[in-house]
């Protein structure tokens, strides 16, 4: 779950950097070859090449490639980490079905425009037509959260994690809901799981600090 989605912007030089590194000019590699080259370049000792690889996968990768890019959330270079986080969201939003992807984008635009009820309808159509697509459930969980319907949001987060156990957005969503419900132990548990997968979530890191502080004030010595 993510109440705000990053406006993704992938520098045009990134693909050129990557292809130059492997000896190919832009436009000469088929998409499958570009994807394979990008995966190989993720492990380059050169951070510029790793950055180009992450951006390239964001453009030509599939949802399955998100598991590879998630590893880059621990990269030594902060720019690579930032681009990796955006790339993961881009890959998670790729269902493999152009019509489902268009419906997802329409729902996101409605959600951002405050048309939450209509967004729920779009996301529900996605969960009905392609239930294996985790992001349909995740975006509906976000919509329900914004509506204050925490019970339905939690159920949709369950569906997300069944399909994508590394979905740090849904794990953060659990934390946000349980925090709002006053269950600090559960909120902390889920925030810590999200942060373990993605240590770049500054808001989650701050929430963990605040919750631990509150639990200590309440007499908890094991936090």
Q: What is the model's pLDDT at position 69?
A: 98
Q: What is the model's pLDDT at position 29?
A: 52
DSSP letters for 127-142? HHH-TT-HHHHHHHHH
Mean pLDDT score of the chain: 89
- CB under 8 Å to 186, separation ≥6 — which residues? 174, 178
Q: Whose CA is closest to 211, among 168, 166, 181? A: 181
Q: Whose CA is closest to 50, among 23, 83, 27? A: 83
Does the pLDDT at position 58 exceed 90? yes
Using CA atoms, how far residue 213 sits from 96, 193, 217, in Å, is 44, 18, 6
Does the pLDDT at position 4 exceed 80? no
All structural domains of the chain, each given as residue ranges with its CATH number in brackets, are 12-92 (1.25.10), 96-159 (1.25.40.10), 166-223 (1.25.40)
Each residue's pLDDT tens digit, 136-185: 999 999 999 999 999 999 999 999 999 999 999 999 999 999 999 999 99
Cα end-to-end span (Å), the chain: 26
Q: What pTM did the predictor assign?
A: 0.84
């Amino acid at each position: 779950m993510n109440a705000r989605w990053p406006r993704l912007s992938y520098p045009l030089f990134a693909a050129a950097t990557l292809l130059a590194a492997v000896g190919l000019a832009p436009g000469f590699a088929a998409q499958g070859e570009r994807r394979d080259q990008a995966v190989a370049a993720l492990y380059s000792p050169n951070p510029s090449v790793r950055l180009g690889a992450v951006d390239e996968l964001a453009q030509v990768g599939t949802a399955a490639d998100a598991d590879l890019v998630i590893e880059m959330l621990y990269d030594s270079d902060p720019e690579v980490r930032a681009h990796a986080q955006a790339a993961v969201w881009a890959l998670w939003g790729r269902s493999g079905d152009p019509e489902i992807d268009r419906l997802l984008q329409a729902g996101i635009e409605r959600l951002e425009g405050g048309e939450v009820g209509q967004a729920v309808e779009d996301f529900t159509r996605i969960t009905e037509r392609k239930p294996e697509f985790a992001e349909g459930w995740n975006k509906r969980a976000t919509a329900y959260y914004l509506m204050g319907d925490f019970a339905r949001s939690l159920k949709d987060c369950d569906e997300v994690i069944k399909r994508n156990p590394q979905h740090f957005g849904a794990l953060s969503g659990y934390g946000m809901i349980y925090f709002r419900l006053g269950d600090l132990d559960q909120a902390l548990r889920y925030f810590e799981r999200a942060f373990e997968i993605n240590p770049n979530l500054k808001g989650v890191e701050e929430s963990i600090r605040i919750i631990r502080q509150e639990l200590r004030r309440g007499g908890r010595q094991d936090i």
